[in-house]
Amino acid sequence: MSEKPLVHQLQIMAIDPNTDVSSLSSKALLIASKLKQSETIAWLSKEIYGYTDETLPSYRIVSGTVMYKHPYHGLQPIMFQDENFNKGFSRIGVSDSISAIINQIKDNKTGVLMSYMDSKKRILSMKI
C-alpha cells in the first residue's frame, strides 16, 4: 500500500482538530518548496522561524492591557489620559515563531505577558 500524496496528507491534517499548527506549517512548507512557490515559502518560513526585521502582517499585531508589576499588589493596569498614547502602547507586534506563541499560550492559562522593547520602556517610565 502506497503512502498518500503530500497535499492529501496536508488536507487531512488541516481538518483534524488535534493537529499541531507547527506540524501543519512544516508540511505546508515542504509542499511549497516542492512546488517552488517562493512567496508561500517566504511567508511560511517567517511563521515557522519567526519574523526578524521585516514589517509584521496585520494579524501579528495584537492588543492588550498595559500593566505594571506592583511589589505588593501584583500586576496592575495603567490608564493613560491621552487616548492616542493608550492606543500606541496597548498594541504590540508578535514576531515569535508559531511554536513559541503556542507554548506561551499553553504555559499561561490566564493570559500571555509580553514585554516592550527598551525604547518603549523608557517612554513608559517617563509617563508614569
Query: Do residue 71 and residue 95 come from a single domain?
Result: yes
Q: Residue 1: which pLDDT band, with cuts at 50, 70 and 90?
A: very low
62 and 121 belong to one structural domain: yes
Longest dimension (CA), the chain: 68
How far is Cα 22 from Cα 102, in angstroms, rounded to an integer? 9
Among the listed residues 35, 111, 94, the one whose alpha carbon sits nearest the alpha carbon of residue 27 = 35
Burial 9-23 (b: 16+ CB within 10 A, else e): ebeebeeeeeeeebe
Same domain for 78 and 23: no
Q: What share of the chain is helix, strand, coil (3-state, %, to 5)?
A: 50, 10, 35
In this structure, are 115 and 65 located in the same domain? yes
At 122 the pLDDT is: 64
Residue 1, in any domain of the structure? no
Tell me, yes or no, whether 63 and 117 share the same domain. yes
Residues 37 and 82 in one domain: no
If asked whether residues 123 and 62 sit together in one domain, one would say yes
Q: Higher model confidence: residue 123 or residue 44?
A: 44
Q: What does pLDDT average to over the chain? A: 85
| Structural domain boundaries, residue 96 | 58-127
Q: Residue 63's beta-bridge partner residues?
A: 91
pLDDT digits (tens, 9 = 90+) for 42-83: 999 999 999 987 789 999 988 888 887 788 998 888 877 888
Residues 12-49 have pLDDT tens digits of 999 999 999 999 999 999 999 999 999 999 999 999 99
Domain count, the chain: 2
Same domain flag for 74 and 110: yes
